[in-house]
Amino acid sequence: MSAMKNRFSDIPFFIRIVLLVLAILVISLIITTVIYTVASEEIFVTNQLERLKEETDMLASLIPGDWVTRDQLENFFDKALQAESSILRSFIFVSDKLNVEVYSYAPAIRRETQTVAKADMDKFYRNNLSKHMRGVLAGQYISLKNTDNEFNSDMFIIMRPIFSQYGDVQAVLTVCKFIDDYSGELRTINNALVLTMIGVSLLMLFPIYRMSKSITKPLLEIRDVAVAFGKGDFSVKADESYPAELGQLSLTMNHLSSQLGKTITSLTRETNILQGVLNSMNQGLLVVDESLSPMIINPALPKFFKSTMNMNEKHSIIPIQAVWEDFEQCLSEQQYIENIYEFQGNMILCVINPLKVNDALIGAMGIFSDITKEIRLEQTRRDYVANVSHELKTPLTGVMGLLAPLKDGIVTDPDKITKYYAIMSNELQRLNRLINDLLMLSRLQSASEAFAMDKVNLSAIIVDKIESYHFTYEDNNLTIDFTGPSQPVLVYGNADRIEQILTILIDNAIKFSQNSADKKINNEKIKIKIAIVKKDDKYIVSVQDYGTGISKEDIEYVFERFYKSDKSRSSAGSGLGLAIARETLKRMNEDIWVESDGKSGSVFSFTLSEYKPNIDKVK
């Protein structure tokens, strides 16, 4: 059944309409024929019998009242029966008052079931109708139906009195008609009716075809427009010239096309904006449904967990089971959840919120942020506070410890008093340097420290700085090599600031070379290499040491304010030098970076612009 239904649904709409109309016509023809066949027979027979009565009455009234002999009656009937009449197909008898047959007539027709002889009808008349003679002779009009006879066929009998010219009954006219004789006539009429209806149905095929075509053509065109809409093509328009409802439907389709085009354009624009926002987010985004199946992932999320964007496998996106447990808890409790996860040395903050539409829970959204840097910076700030407190407290403690015996007069030896004052002076100078470094860094970062920018002989500054360090380390425990262009290197900057940067970098190189265990054990000289390389319109100055190096974890943070490494740098300095160097170079629109393998020293490099005339003098 379903297969037939599917085959019918595959038939074109136009053909279906034609078949439907034809089916209606055929069904109407069948129903009409059946109803007519059932109902028409009785009506037709009744009408024919009524007509037969009328013709019998007329015939009885036309028989001359002065007939005397049989020949006279035969002459009359020969003339009377020449006209077309249903009596011609009936049996006629005329009997006198003594029930003696004076005339009889048998139709020249052959019945379908049998041939009725005139003698058989005469016998039937004498045996079955004589008993009604008295009533007819008395002036009665008798009409009866006979169903029990030797002919096995229903018969209708009409008996009428024949009056004389004096008004008395002188004979009886009897007409016998087999009812099934009318069936043949009725079948002829029915066949003609059926053939007529078939002919009309065939003639209606062309009008039906034209009418169906006129109905289906605009519908098919509108269907094609709807199909184009489904494919995303809203430029197709329906023909609005069709009359009545079809024209209104076309107008509605065109209006729908316009509205859908605007809506989809707006949705596409909003989707592109949203996708652009998601793609540009540094934070990871994950949206899951109620069954924890991922629905939305932005490109930043897999970078956090070094995973792939496989929407079908959630653990390939986030391999931490605790994250999925927090998502499940958020969905079950419908509450905000915040947690920090550790993954391969990184600290990841996740904030999970339930998603609801019309107060119905549809899923949960998690925002992931890498807070490793913030945590380390926070730890650096804590270390800085501790270091600065220690650095400030150490000289103050020393000064206070030396002032107490001097104040109380415990120390009276002039040489010791002088020594005490010298120590206190050194501690106060150390404290002053620390405070100055803090103030300088603050001014540099706030851009309130203005300094002049001009032509600077970089080669001369480096040579002077090397000589001063060699003079300081008279024991020849320090070697500084310098390589660069043979011609003086002229750069655009501030001589004092450049010298300060070199001092910071060389001091760090010496300090961390001294901390190297190999050099302490073998009592090796400290080697530092300074080089200048020209690249485009920039000079790159590098200071290389061969000390302990900087670990990969610390390289990212060495220029941070107050930063001190947890290894060899933990016991020296306050962590402000490199921060000052970076801020100073930033003010001069220059850059600084470091390279180290964490084992065999470090190379700090910074850029300086080549000097060109007509450059602003103040920065």
**Cα–Cα distance, 519 to 516 (Å, whole number):** 6
pLDDT in tens, 213-244: 777 777 777 778 888 877 777 777 877 777 77
**Single-letter amino acid, residue 164:** S
Per-residue buried b or exposed e for 139-168, using 16+ beta carbons within 10 Å of the residue's own CB: eeebeeebeeeebebebbbbbbbbbeeeee
CATH domain 375-446 topology: Helix Hairpins (1.10.287)
pLDDT of residue 46: 80
Query: Are 15-186 and 454-610 equal in CATH topology?
Result: no
Which pLDDT band, with edges at 50, 70 and 90, does 570 fall under? very low
Instruction: Tell me if 90 sits within 8 A of 177, measured CB to CB.
Output: yes
Distance CA 509, CA 546 (A): 8
For 86, residues 6+ apart whose C-beta sits below 8 A from its C-beta are: 48, 51, 52, 55, 177
Instruction: Express each pLDDT in 407-457 by its tens digit.
Output: 878 877 888 888 878 878 877 876 776 677 777 766 666 665 667 788 999
Backbone Cα Rg of the chain: 64
CA gap 378, 264 in Å, rounded: 48
**SS3 label, residue 158:** strand
φ, ψ at 281 (rounded to 5°): -70, 135
DSSP H or E stretch at residue 295: strand 294-297
**Cβ neighbours, 10 Å, residue 502:** 22
Distance CA 456, CA 494 (A): 7
Q: Is the pLDDT assigned to residue 129 strictly greater than 70? A: yes
What is the distance between the alpha carbons of residues 241 and 249, in angstroms, rounded to a whole number? 11
Give the pLDDT score at 541.
94
Spatial distance between the Cα atoms of 219 and 12, rounded to a whole number of angstroms = 12
Residue 9, pLDDT above cutoff 60: no
Q: Where does the pLDDT of residue 614 fall: very low under 50, low under 70, confident under 90, or very high at 90 and above? A: low
Task: Report the run of H or E that residue 148 belongs to, with start and end.
Answer: none
| 529 has pLDDT over 90 | yes
Q: Determine the residue type at 358.
A: N
Q: What's 292's DSSP letter?
A: -
Return the domain boundaries, the chain: 15-186, 281-370, 375-446, 454-610
8 Å CB contact between 163 and 58: no
| CB distance 156 to 166 below 8 Å | no
pLDDT confidence bin for 112, thresholds 50/70/90: low
Helices (H), 116-180: 118-128, 133-137
3-state SS string for 309-378: CCCCCHHHHCCCHHHHHHHHHHHHHCCCEEEEEEECCEEEEEEEEEEEECCEEEEEEEEEEECHHHHHHH
Distance of alpha carbon 95 from alpha carbon 162, whole angstroms: 10
Q: What average pLDDT score do residues 564-584 get?
A: 65
pLDDT range class, residue 517, cuts 50, 70, 90: very low
The yes-or-no verdict on residue 108 having pLDDT over 70 is no
pLDDT at 148 over 50: yes
Closest CA to 444 of 593, 579, 617: 579
In angstroms, the CA 250 to CA 78 distance is: 78
Give tens-digit pLDDT for 370-410: 888 888 878 777 776 776 676 677 677 777 877 888 787 88
Question: How many residues would you count in the chain?
Answer: 619
* Options 3.30.565.10, 3.40.50.720, 3.40.50.150, 3.30.1330.30; CATH of 454-610: 3.30.565.10
Count of CB atoms situated within 10 Å of the CB of 32: 13
Q: What ranges make up the beta strands (E) of 488-600?
A: 490-493, 526-535, 538-545, 592-596
CA distance 577 to 73: 160
- Under the banding of pLDDT at 50, 70 and 90, the label for residue 608 is very high
Distance CA 364, CA 323 (A): 12
pLDDT at 490: 93
CATH 3.40.50.720 is right for the domain spanning 15-186: no
Range with the poorest average pLDDT among 288-292, 330-334, 422-426: 422-426
CATH of the structural domain 281-370, one choice from 2.60.40.4070, 3.30.450.20, 3.90.1150.10, 3.40.50.1170: 3.30.450.20
Residue 207 has pLDDT above 90, yes or no: no
Please report, rounded to a whole number, the percentage of residues in the chain having pLDDT higher than 90: 8
**pLDDT score, position 618:** 47
**Are the CB atoms for 101 and 119 separated by under 8 Å?**
no
The predicted-structure confidence for 92-104, as pLDDT tens digits, reads as follows 888 888 777 778 8
C-alpha torsion 312→316→322→326, nearest 10: -30
Lowest mean per-residue pLDDT among 319-328, 479-488, 553-562, 578-587: 553-562
Q: What is the pLDDT of residue 308?
A: 75
Mark 572-590 as b/e (b = at least 16 C-beta within 10 Å): ebbbbbbbbbbbbbebbeb
